[in-house]
Amino acid sequence: MAHVFLEMTMTVDGFTAAPGVSLEHPLGIDGERVHEWLLGSDTGDQPRERAMFNPGYGTEGAADASPDEIDRSVAARMFDTTGAFVMGRRTFDVGEGPWGEGSTFEGRPCFVVTTRPRESFVRGGSRFEFVTGGIAEAVARASEAAHAASVCIMGGADVARQALVAELVDEVRLHLVPVLLGEGSRLFPESRSRRVELEPLGVEQGARATHLRYRVMRGD
C-alpha cells in the first residue's frame, strides 16, 4: 500500500465549508474564505487563479520565506510525492465545473468514492474513475495507480473521516484558517467511532493559514 496522506482545510471551529454547498457555491454561501490561502496573493506576479495547485511555485527550505510564500509553498507541496488523488462525490461534483478542462491535477489519476456509478473519463490529462466499493477500494486502486508514489485524500469531510476510521491514513495535513464560521460542514463531528492518536511532525505559519502535519499512530 502506498503512503496515504489526508489534506484538508478547516476553520478554527472545525468547518471545511460554509452552509449551502452547491454547484453554484462549491464552498458554501460566502465560504470562499475557507480556501483563500490556496489562492495566494493577488498583488504579486502570480495571478490568484494560477497560485492554486501550482507545483514548484514556493520557497520550501527558505529561512526568510514570507508568510505569503509559505502558503504558496505548502499548496505546491501537495504534488511533491503524489501519484494519485482520492475524493468524495460531492467534492467532485462541485469541483468539476471550476476545474474545467485545465490540468488541475497535473495528469495524476483521480478516484471518486460514490454510490452513483459513472463512466471513467479523461480531462486535463487526468483520468477520473468512479469507485462504488467504498473508501478502502478507492485507496487500494489509487495506490496501484500511484506507482509507489503517495496517495492524497483531498476530501470531503465524510470521505476523510471514513479513511481515518478505516486506518487507511498515514499522515494528516491540516490547514487551519483563522475564522469562526459557526456552522457548515464539520470535519470532525462530536460523535466518533474510534480514537485516533496523532504525532506532530511540523507546523508552518502562513499569511492566511496555519499548516499542521501529523503522523497517524498505529496500534500494536
Q: If pLDDT is split at 50, 70 and 90, which confidence band does 45 have?
A: very low
Model confidence, pTM: 0.84
**Better pLDDT: 88 or 63:** 88
Q: Hunting for cell 497517524 — which residue is that?
A: 216
Residue 160 has a pLDDT of: 93
User: Residues near 126 by Cβ (< 8 Å), separated by ≥ 6?
Assistant: 103, 104, 105, 106, 107, 108, 109, 110
pLDDT the model gives residue 19 = 85
Please state the rounded mean pLDDT for residues 120-126: 93
Q: Report the C-alpha gap between 104 and 81 in whole angstroms.
A: 16
Distances (CA, A) of 123 to 46, 97, 109: 24, 12, 10
pLDDT digits (tens, 9 = 90+) for 153-178: 998 889 999 999 899 999 999 999 99
Residue 53 has pLDDT above 60, yes or no: no
Determine whether 124 is exposed, middle or buried from the number of CB atoms within 10 Å of its CB (0-12, 13-18, 19+). middle
> Among residues of the chain, what percentage have pLDDT more than 70?
85
Cα–Cα distance measured from residue 183 to residue 73, given in angstroms and rounded to the nearest whole number: 29
Find the CATH number of the domain harbouring 65: 3.40.430.10
How many domains, the chain? 1
Residue with cell 464539520: 186
What pLDDT sits at residue 192?
59
- Domain extent, residue 196, equals 4-216
pLDDT score of 48? 32
In the three-class reduction of DSSP (H, G, I as helix; E, B as strand; rest coil), residue 129 is classed as: strand
* Nearest of 82, 74, 96 to residue 9 by alpha carbon: 74
pLDDT for 42 equals 42
Residue-wise pLDDT for 193-212, tens only, equals: 678 899 999 999 999 999 99
How far apart are alpha carbons 51 and 74 in whole angstroms?
A: 11
